């Protein structure tokens, strides 16, 4: 899908300049515009139906749905324990802890933040972009 530079910039700022899934800050270049599923089509902002996604999440997610990606992420600790002696050692020494926390995506958290706080974070990121 081809986006104009302006629409790409608007999409990048849709969730405060962060990846819709993990919440990491998106660089000016090197991220993906991904079509979102019907369940998430009513997300806030312009460019409805699209989500900004970092390269790491896009690679991990592949063609899976958001819910399938959530399940995949929830199984990561189990897989690491089963296959990685380094991970098991880190757990024994208390460097890593397993939690039963549900996987919550950034766009779900961001939707819960009041609009006034979202506007402030977007304005501060615009200020940082123009200062650079």
pLDDT of 72-113, one tens digit each?
999 999 999 999 999 999 999 999 988 889 999 999 988 776
Reported in sequence order, the residue ranges of 1-132 that DSSP labels E, i.e. its strands, are 31-35, 50-54
Q: Which of 57, 58, 52, 62 lies closest to 12 in space, CA to CA?
A: 52
Measured CA to CA, the distance from residue 8 to residue 97 in angstroms comes to 38
Place of tokens 């766009």: 107
Residue 127 scores a pLDDT above 60: no
Measured CA to CA, the distance from residue 121 to residue 102 in angstroms comes to 26
pLDDT of residue 37: 74
Reported in sequence order, the residue ranges of 21-114 that DSSP labels E, i.e. its strands, are 31-35, 50-54
- Domain ranges for the chain: 5-112
Q: Which of 29, 27, 18 lies closest to 111 in space, CA to CA?
A: 18
Measured CA to CA, the distance from residue 66 to residue 68 in angstroms comes to 5
**Which pTM was predicted?**
0.76
């Amino acid at each position: 899908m081809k986006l104009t530079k302006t629409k790409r910039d608007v999409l990048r700022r849709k969730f405060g300049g962060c990846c819709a899934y993990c919440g990491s800050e998106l660089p000016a270049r090197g991220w993906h515009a991904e079509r979102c599923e019907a369940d998430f089509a009513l997300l806030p902002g312009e460019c409805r139906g699209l989500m900004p996604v970092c390269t790491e999440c896009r690679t991990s997610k592949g063609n899976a749905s958001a819910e399938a990606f959530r399940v995949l992420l929830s199984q990561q600790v189990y897989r690491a324990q089963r296959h990685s002696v380094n991970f098991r050692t880190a757990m024994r020494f208390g460097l890593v802890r397993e939690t039963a926390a549900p996987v919550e995506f950034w766009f779900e958290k961001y939707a819960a933040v009041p609009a006034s706080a979202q506007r402030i974070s977007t304005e501060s990121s615009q200020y940082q972009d123009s200062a650079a």
